A and B are shown apart, each in its own frame.
Chain A
């Protein structure tokens, strides 16, 4: 099998010749030192992410709403040795801004919000205006996706990445966790309207996504123990259902990205209509073992993180770690993926060990 064939085979829950080993190249920005080329030659797959539609709002890489009535500007600067970006969104009804600090010394697209767009409850009004305008402007982005699929060819696959669900978007991209939690509790009208605005955005985005060239649709929702089962049912599940319904009959597979701890959501995940659990962190970092995940969700395919607790481990320890992943999965229908942070100097060792253990 080519890496592309293997990726699609696992994605669809079918048995490949070997488990899929994948480097999510689209989220990595650091130097490769040649390991991508070397490991690709051995059969490692590469994934890129491209949105099926534009505009999308993906903090803090794709924030430009690209609509006539909203002006977006960004300013890069350094402060106390840290690279920072100030994002400003100006609308006829007001403006909001956010400051992001970029974690030094890691080659991964990740920033930390120092100052959020929504500082006061009234800022939700501006956010709602922006997303309503973006919804009107939503259009297919199929050409970019087709071009990327052609570029990758048999080396991997282009994943259609869609926007976060409303609660996750709120605390990761727009406001502090405290702001959104308190505004929901206080039933702030503009905050409640935000959820409706988001639903309308996703309904239209899902329709466009259903026609895109990629079979792999990923919601990078970063679900972890920040969200309660109740909020998951209220704010995530309905959006997954919108996508699932739109994708039904298209042959496309819906994946959701998790971060570490999701043991408290076992029942909710069982009831969720996605087929791929992206970025499973194995214990002791995560709280659901692969054996348990297989038992609980036999119809869902795990995409397993490089184990962060072994980030600095020796080759021998890594062989043990990756062999455990292989045996705990019980069959070949899974992916080992580099999608979260890992020291650059250890990436080749991790991925090459995964390839060794998986029989490449």
Chain B
């Protein structure tokens, strides 16, 4: 098996030792860093597909993400030196009044696995902080999370604050237990993802459109 196939397989299986050694072997063999990155992303894409299909679950995804993360720690300096940028930039956070972070963290992890640069603003993030981040980082996407029915309305205020910035191309997506597609439509968000795996597909689809 080639280094790249073995790397892709190692990520799919969540085998961090094999993933790391495959990256090292691929770099020693002078394979293009973009190809190594593509193999990692392909592995995580497969993980995302199986996650979405309920064939694997959060623990398995976390184990695969560790393999990806440890591989990226080796690959990242090489990517930077080669001038290879992440595919998209995303800002993510849980809206003001809400301290829950598991859903947000899972989406951030899946986005990183898809080679997005993720700026995580944390939890209980006021609308103006999201707006500032949009101006500062010029992301392609902003992800808003809320777990509570009581904090859902803060998504609307946040969407309005972001829309007031000059960056009109930014796409805003929502997620969280009480959130629905209807609610996303109602408050003028660009999309809604029911789970972390869908959040990757959603962003790619939105940006492609």
List chain A positions with a Cβ less than 8 A from chain B. Answer: 80, 82, 101-106, 111-112, 114, 177-178, 180-182, 184-185, 225-229, 231, 259-260, 263-264, 284-285, 308-309, 311-312, 341-344
Contacts of A177 in B (CB 8 A): 58-59, 62, 102
> Could you tell me if B59 and A181 are in contact, using CB atoms closer than 8 angstroms?
yes
Q: Can you list 17 pairs linking A and B with CB atoms under 8 Å apart?
A: A101-B123, A103-B151, A105-B97, A112-B101, A112-B123, A114-B99, A182-B63, A185-B59, A226-B102, A227-B58, A259-B177, A284-B182, A285-B177, A285-B178, A308-B178, A309-B180, A312-B149
List chain B positions with a Cβ less than 8 A from chain A. Answer: 14, 54, 56-60, 62-63, 66, 97-102, 123-124, 148-153, 177-178, 180-183, 195
Q: How far is the CA of A111 from the CA of B99 in the complex (A)?
A: 8
| Pair count A-B, CB < 8 A | 95
Q: Give A80's nearest chain B residue, CB to CB.
A: B124
Q: How far is the CA of A226 from the CA of B149 in the complex (A)?
A: 20
Contacts of B102 in A (CB 8 A): 177, 226
* Distance to closest chain A CB from B179 (angstroms): 9
* Distance to closest chain A CB from B186 (angstroms): 10
Contacts of A263 in B (CB 8 A): 54
Q: How far is the CA of A178 from the CA of B151 in the complex (A)?
A: 26
- Contact (A264, B54) CB under 8 Å given A284-B180, A311-B149: yes
Q: How far is the CA of A177 from the CA of B61 in the complex (A)?
A: 11
- Contact (A104, B14) CB under 8 Å given A226-B58, A227-B57, A311-B149: no
Q: How far is the CA of A112 from the CA of B100 in the complex (A)?
A: 6
Contacts of B63 in A (CB 8 A): 181-182, 185
Main secondary structure of the interface of B (DSSP, over half): loop
Q: How far is the CA of A229 from the CA of B66 in the complex (A)?
A: 22
Q: How far is the CA of A181 from the CA of B58 in the complex (A)?
A: 8
Contacts of B124 in A (CB 8 A): 80, 82, 101, 104
* Distance to closest chain A CB from B52 (angstroms): 11
Contacts of A181 in B (CB 8 A): 58-60, 62-63
- Contact (A260, B177) CB under 8 Å given A185-B14, A228-B59, A228-B60: yes
Q: How far is the CA of A312 from the CA of B150 in the complex (A)?
A: 9
> Could you tell me if A225 and B195 are in contact, using CB atoms closer than 8 angstroms?
yes
Q: Give B195's nearest chain A residue, CB to CB.
A: A225
Q: Give A114's nearest chain B residue, CB to CB.
A: B99
Q: How far is the CA of A178 from the CA of B99 in the complex (A)?
A: 18
Q: Give A287's nearest chain B residue, CB to CB.
A: B194
* Distance to closest chain B CB from A352 (angstroms): 17
Q: How far is the CA of A103 from the CA of B100 in the complex (A)?
A: 8
Q: How far is the CA of A133 from the CA of B148 in the complex (A)?
A: 36
Contacts of A106 in B (CB 8 A): 148, 150-151
